Chain A
């Protein structure tokens, strides 16, 4: 399979968000990259990047909740030498849209869970989650995942593991799902796992080429096919 050029390690999205923090609450909100933003854009300064992206808060979470979620999602799939991370892929935009539509029942669980995550971080590590370093954030998230993030006043509804799994599941949908839903920007999720792409027909010959690592990946949304566009007759 053809290798795609990989991003050189640059400023991570997370670092940019931290830098941008000084600019005030509005800038803290990690606005989604728009679809035309290339990986190269990550080399720009945070100011340039934020200016290039459409501004606007997440619809379903406060600025503070968004900041915590952003930090968590960034640790789940970080931007690193392997390529872009979940934030670059638009996972936050995916989650926000989902909370407005198909996953609207989950909005309360997000609000509760993010608040509890921060309280657990304060309780167990002495600092809010967003102020911890990468390793400390990871160790807090491991506690969440294993269901051991408990303590006086932490207050996960259900278990911390259930909250962790919900966020992880939605993040994976946002990174590896069809870009139609706001995530998988520039198909970075599909590039990471070498998914050969959405095709409407795979001949025996194409399957053979796939097996010989000779099939070029295609990168398009299912909804780029006319058959699935609203109002189209096939």
Chain B
């Protein structure tokens, strides 16, 4: 029998990017919060600038729950799914916000209203066949105040392009209106970043510095970025990357109302006879506990949120918690980051001391920022020219058809070219489709014997057409900047496991097609809330973390405001 613990107001499963943000408004409002985290605390002494550890091995995590429950993956339901090679996430207090790339974007207004905007501008029939996309239950304006709160609480650097309708050409002219400037100026640019920006301008585009959850100067008692060059999948040795274990979680702990339990592996959400959540079971080592709570918030990564619901079967919810409408796992999508384009330049890029969040963005070909009347797709991609280079990956660069990639000839090639290549991953909008979904794998399990998630996901014609279109734009940009070789990746097929996974517990007013309501609470179990990108029904063409954090703050604030309705 699990040890029965004292009832708390709120239990949050996962103290990462999303759960770590939600804890703050709850604790500040005086609610008693228990944060359960599978990983442990890490600090800056754990974050050596070491490419082997960060990028080739399993990093300094003391707990590897995510690796143990790597999903299986297949393109279509006709195939057998295979276990993916590695899990893109990590377990620790602060979660993947410790080692992520920290691009900290707001979605653009179009991303919230894909169906109505597309239909309104181009007429009916332009939503791709088989897509289950819906408008979000609210627009950008509803989320703007929460974006603003998170940008300040976490710390985001950047350059505004639209402050209450006043455009600023230094920023993104396509972004939704902000209430005010970023709390910090953007990260600096290298000479190559400047060159890419100039080249974009020559093409008539509108380049701007991307937003980053990285301090560009001292902020909130922490240092500015030191540009040491190991930010890609590395923790920050000077606390300049604004992971939640440095920002919102310590502030929530300061209130005295948050207790964080580490190495806590949650196995099940428990339910009463009426379908309300009563708390969660978790294991620490060989010990089992039951943490009763008036409200349960799950704030894990998309795969784990969906998995925990599907594993929590009961008499009331025979197909998994809050799944009596069969929507848990549906409307899954992930960013189409493949289909990259890379280039070789005849000059050094001096990219050794950069970071993936330092760079030049172009939004002219994203979302509906350009006319799609004569195109055979909707949506688009954001182009991102970042600075990111480390020795092993540099030495592993493509030789662009100039001989084989080893041997004496290669040594001459690499001595000249190790700092002369650049790669775009191209971040494109992806839509949800009827036959892309998550469920439990019928055979593969984790160490505890519980099924892992199975991803069934394939990029469809609309996404492949975007990929081709954006590859063309990327090539134009590289050639304008003087590239002597350009190489393109394939357009993609199977989605695989992604760092940008969305859906599975989609948010919407219609309970027949969505798991959570417009506040992030279950349509079926009113005291269960879901935090993270699993509630998002569209991806946009940009990184998800800031949006998932803004949504988390909003869900938590709603819980504070509607405490009696939800908890009692």
Are B190 and A234 touching (Cβ within 8 A)? no
A172 within 8 A of B: yes
From A102, A176, A193, A232, residue with most partner B Cβ within 10 Å? A193
Tell me if B391 and A210 are in contact (CB < 8 A).
no
Are B228 and A198 neighbours in the complex by a CB distance under 8 Å?
yes
Q: Are the CB atoms of A222 and B226 closer together than 8 Å?
A: no
**A103: nearest chain-B partner, CB-CB:** B57
- Beta-carbon contact of B396 and A196 below 8 Å: no
The residue that B391 contacts in the complex, of A141, A145, A190, A213, with Cβ under 8 A, is A190
Q: Please give, as numbers and ranges, the residues of chain A lying within 8 Å of B414 by CB-CB distance.
A: 192-193
Q: Which of B370-407 contact A (CB under 8 A)?
A: 391-392, 394-396, 404-407
| Among B48, B237, B418, residue most surrounded by chain A Cβ atoms (within 10 Å) | B48
A102 to B394, CA, bound (A): 22
Contact partner, A82, options B52, B190, B227, B415, Cβ 8 Å = B415
Tell me whether A198 and B49 are in contact (CB under 8 A).
yes
Closest A residue to B223 by CB, please name it: A201
Chain A residues with CB below 8 A from B227, complex form: 201-202, 207
**Chain B contact residues: helix, strand, loop or mixed:** loop
Q: Does B472 contact A (CB under 8 A)?
A: no
CB atoms of A78 and B407 under 8 A apart: yes
From B50, B348, B353, B412, A222 is in contact (CB under 8 Å) with B50
Q: How far is the CB of B168 from chain A (nearest CB, A)?
A: 23
8 Å CB interface, B37-61 against A: 44-45, 48-52, 56-58
Asked whether A200 lies within 8 Å of B411 as measured between CB atoms, the reply is no
> Could you tell me if A180 and B229 are in contact, using CB atoms closer than 8 angstroms?
no
**In the complex, A170→B190 CA distance in Å?**
31
Size category of the binding interface on chain B: 35 or more
Interface residues of A in 181-220 (CB under 8 A from B): 181, 189-190, 192-196, 198-202, 204, 206-207, 210-211, 213
Q: Least Cβ distance of A163 to chain B in Å?
A: 14
- Measured between C-beta atoms, what is the minimum distance from B128 to chain A in Å? 36
Residue A45 lies at the interface, judged by CB distance under 8 Å to chain B:
no
Bound complex: CA A103 to CA B209 (Å): 39
State how many angstroms separate the Cβ of B413 from the closest Cβ of chain A. Answer: 10
> Is A80 positioned at the interface, with any CB of B under 8 Å from its CB?
yes
| B352 and A175 within 8 A (CB) | no
**Looking at the complex, which one of B52, B190, B229, B415 makes contact with A178 (CB distance below 8 Å)?**
B52
Residues of B11-70 whose CB lies within 8 A of A:
44-45, 48-52, 56-58
| Chain B residues in 8 Å Cβ range of A138 | 407
Across the interface, do B51 and A227 meet the contact criterion of CB distance under 8 Å?
Answer: no
For chain B residues 180-201, which have a beta carbon within 8 Å of chain A? 188, 190-191
A173 contacts B418, C-beta separation under 8 Å: no
Q: Does A77 interact with chain B (Cβ within 8 Å)?
A: yes
Query: In angstroms, how far is the closest chain A Cβ from the Cβ of B518?
Result: 45
Contact A172 B45 (CB under 8 A): no
| CB contact between A77 and one of B229, B237, B396, B411 (< 8 Å): that residue | B411
Contact A228 B48, beta carbon cutoff 8 Å: yes
**In the complex, are the beta carbons of A193 and B229 less than 8 A apart?**
no
Bound complex: CA of A153 vs CA of B291, how far in Å? 59
Instruction: Contact check, B353 vs A199: say whether CB atoms are below 8 A apart.
Output: yes
Given A176-B391, A201-B227, A207:B353 Cβ within 8 A: yes
A177-B191 in contact (CB<8A): no
Q: Is the CB of A200 within 8 A of B237?
A: yes
A173-B52 contact, Cβ under 8 Å, with A189-B395, A194-B418: yes
Shortest C-beta distance, B234 to chain A (Å), equals 10
- Bound form: Cα–Cα A207–B227 in Å: 9
Question: B408 at the A/B interface (Cβ < 8 Å)?
Answer: yes
User: Which one of A195, A222, A223 contacts B352 once the chains associate, using CB atoms below 8 Å?
Assistant: A195
Residues of A within 8 A of B188 (CB): 204, 207
User: Using an 8 Å CB-CB cutoff, how does the interface string of B211-245 with A read, 1 for contact, 0 for none?
Assistant: 00000000000000011110000000110000000
Complex Cα–Cα for A123 and B369 (A): 60
Binding site for A on B (CB under 8 A): 44-45, 48-52, 56-58, 188, 190-191, 226-229, 237-238, 348, 350, 352-353, 391-392, 394-396, 404-408, 410-412, 414-415, 418-419
Contacts A195-B391, A199-B228 supplied; 16 other A-B pairs, CB < 8 Å: A76-B406, A76-B407, A77-B406, A77-B407, A168-B406, A172-B395, A173-B392, A180-B50, A193-B395, A198-B228, A199-B353, A201-B228, A207-B188, A207-B353, A225-B48, A232-B45
Contacts A/B (CB < 8 Å), 26 sampled = A77-B410, A78-B408, A80-B411, A82-B408, A82-B412, A102-B58, A142-B404, A145-B404, A173-B56, A176-B391, A177-B52, A177-B392, A180-B50, A189-B391, A192-B415, A193-B394, A193-B414, A193-B415, A195-B391, A200-B226, A200-B237, A201-B228, A207-B190, A211-B190, A213-B348, A232-B45
Chain A interface (Cβ within 8 Å of chain B)? 75-78, 80, 82-83, 102, 138, 141-142, 145, 168-169, 172-173, 175-178, 180-181, 189-190, 192-196, 198-202, 204, 206-207, 210-211, 213, 222-223, 225, 227-228, 232, 234
